[in-house]
Amino acid sequence: MNYNKKTVLDVDVHGKKVLLRCDFNVPQDKATGAITDDKRIRAALPTIQYLLDQGAAVIACSHLGKPNATFDSFVKKQTEKGKDPATLTEEAWKKSLAQLSLAPVAKRLSELLGREVIMAADVVGPDAQAKAAALQPGQILLLENTRFEKGETKNDPELAKKMAAMAEIYVSDAFGAVHRAHASTAGVAAYLPAVSGFLIQKELEVMGGALANPKRPLVAILGGAKVSSKIGVINNLLDIADTIIIGGGMTYTFIKALGGTVGTSLLEADWLDYCREMMDKAKEKGVKLLLPVDTLCAAEFSADAKPELVETMAIPDDRMGMDIGPKTIALYTDAVKDAGTVIWNGPMGVFEFPAFAEGTRAVAKALADTNAITIVGGGDSAAAVAQLGFADQMTHISTGGGASLEFLEGKELPGVACLLDK
């Protein structure tokens, strides 16, 4: 995968109409529709501001949530959910769409930019087309939720063509959506010169750099809930890293594979062989693979459960592993101390419960204290680092959950592959 892609700095956008794919998939209050966290909107500001300052006319677009683009799909989905068919009217469908309108985003964006954001009533319909045609340099138009078009998630070339026809350049800055080959994230690049915005540029530079040409030693810290969701990451990083540190719920499948007892800990029996394979691969490749030596366990999965310290290889039958213990913390802190690069994905324990957050906190602190390039990928890991107050001390926190995982898996990301090479 080539991470060296052209950016907005490599094209002349002056006086041009620019189609800008953003990630405005913001969390909203279910009852009121109010945006509960505008981080993603704020993250898009540097690229938007740059384009406007350069005299571009910006046609921004994004998806929001998972609307049903057709009445039929609405009925099917709601029926599957067990809803009463009598309530599944056209009106109910339209109401469900209205709840996922980007209008509140336009309002917030306008407040943040301190200028008008023109809102289109559709994506490529008559309103969007008229407003895009009339758009002047220095103005910004926001199209409606791209997933209101059924062709979006199917990457329909007809939809991509219509979107492209409104603009002269395509800029992608929606890192959170680059792992999806949709019309607005990848398809449209077939019809316009396509470059990245500043958000994607930084992701490619820092994370791409760490994978392609890392400052060594490269230490990867992998945790989180399940081995099964991280197999691709472990496998890919075993080819690249010097040391791999395991923590979190996936620990116990490894421990079981080694012949330890794991009690009622999270265990994925189907993946025991895979863990053995990965440990063999580590040996073959000369990669140091570190597993927890001590564990904080509990009688039940609960915030009030009393933490008990045990050896990881010998967890009692009626106890489950919830966090790494102090010996492991010392071991892991030592392993990142002299690293050149640290890539971290997945919390070390059930950090949502304060009694089991110490392992994750200690690792976050170790990353904050090292001189290494530190990269955090994964939705929960990013949330944990922010919650524990270390966000400012990391080199880079990836803005994409699923996208950063696929990045670490070494997979080709359609929304990146479609951009022009440098």
What amino acid positions are annotated as catalytic residues?
A: 40, 226, 379, 402
Q: 243: closest CA among 344, 375, 158?
A: 344
Considering the complex, state which of residue 144 and residue 323 has its C-beta at the smaller distance from ligand ADP. Answer: 323
Least spacing, CB of residue 359 vs Mg ion, in Å: 17
- 352 interacts with, out of Mg ion, ligand ADP, none, CB within 5 to 8 A per kind: ligand ADP
Run of H or E residues at 185: none
- 144 interacts with, out of Mg ion, ligand ADP, none, CB within 5 to 8 A per kind: none
Where does residue 92 rank: exposed (0-12), middle (13-18), buried (19+ CB within 10 A)? middle
- Asked if residue 224 binds ligand ADP (CB under 6 A), the reply is yes
- Asked if residue 23 binds Mg ion (CB under 5 A), the reply is no
- 249 interacts with, out of Mg ion, ligand ADP, none, CB within 5 to 8 A per kind: ligand ADP
- Asked if residue 217 binds ligand ADP (CB under 6 A), the reply is no
Interface pattern 176-215 for ligand ADP (x via CB under 6 A): ----------------------------------------
Q: Under rule CB under 6 A, how many of the chain's residues touch ligand ADP? A: 19
- 350 interacts with, out of Mg ion, ligand ADP, none, CB within 5 to 8 A per kind: ligand ADP
- Non-local CB neighbours of 378 within 8 Å, separated by 6+ positions: 224, 345, 346, 398, 401, 404, 405
Least spacing, CB of residue 382 vs ligand ADP, in Å: 7
Least spacing, CB of residue 270 vs ligand ADP, in Å: 17
- 104 interacts with, out of ligand ADP, Mg ion, none, CB within 5 to 8 A per kind: none
Bond preceding residue 104 cis, omega within 30 of 0: no
Considering the complex, state which of residue 197 and residue 248 has its C-beta at the smaller distance from ligand ADP. Answer: 248
- Identify which range of 9-17, 211-219, 336-344, 379-387 contacts Mg ion by CB under 5 A: 379-387
The token duo for 122 is 């559709």
- 322 interacts with, out of ligand ADP, Mg ion, none, CB within 5 to 8 A per kind: ligand ADP
Interface pattern 244-283 for ligand ADP (x via CB under 6 A): ----xx----------------x-----------------
- Asked if residue 380 binds Mg ion (CB under 5 A), the reply is yes
Break the chain down into helix, strand, coil percent, rounded to 5.
45, 15, 40
Least spacing, CB of residue 56 vs ligand ADP, in Å: 35
Q: Which of 322, 388, 394, 413 binds ligand ADP (CB under 6 A)?
A: 322
The token duo for 329 is 């913390």
How many angstroms separate the CA atoms of 353 and 333, rounded? 22
φ, ψ (nearest 5 deg) of residue 296: -90, 120
How many angstroms separate the CA atoms of 390 and 333, rounded? 15
The token duo for 217 is 């030693």
Q: Which of 104, 176, 349, 414 binds ligand ADP (CB under 6 A)?
A: 349
Nearest 10 degrees: Cα torsion 74, 77, 80, 83: -40
How many angstroms separate the CA atoms of 268 and 256, rounded? 10
Task: Yes or no: say if 325 and 302 are a contact pair by the CB < 8 Å rule.
Answer: no
- 321 interacts with, out of ligand ADP, Mg ion, none, CB within 5 to 8 A per kind: ligand ADP
How many angstroms separate the CA atoms of 138 and 276, rounded? 58
Q: Which of 208, 347, 400, 414 binds ligand ADP (CB under 6 A)?
A: 347
How many angstroms separate the CA atoms of 30 and 217, rounded? 46
Length of the chain: 422
How many angstroms separate the CA atoms of 267 and 277, rounded? 17
Least spacing, CB of residue 347 vs ligand ADP, in Å: 5
Largest Cα–Cα distance of the chain, in whole Å? 70
Least spacing, CB of residue 248 vs ligand ADP, in Å: 4
If DSSP codes are grouped into helix, strand and coil, which group holds residue 376?
Answer: strand
Q: How far is CA 220 from CA 36, 49, 288, 367, 376, in A?
A: 32, 35, 10, 11, 10
- Asked if residue 379 binds Mg ion (CB under 5 A), the reply is yes
Q: Which of residues 364-393 bind ligand ADP (CB under 6 A)?
A: 378-381
Site residues (CB under 6 A) for ligand ADP?
A: 224-225, 229, 248-249, 266, 321-322, 345-347, 349-350, 352, 378-381, 401
Site residues (CB under 5 A) for Mg ion?
A: 379-380
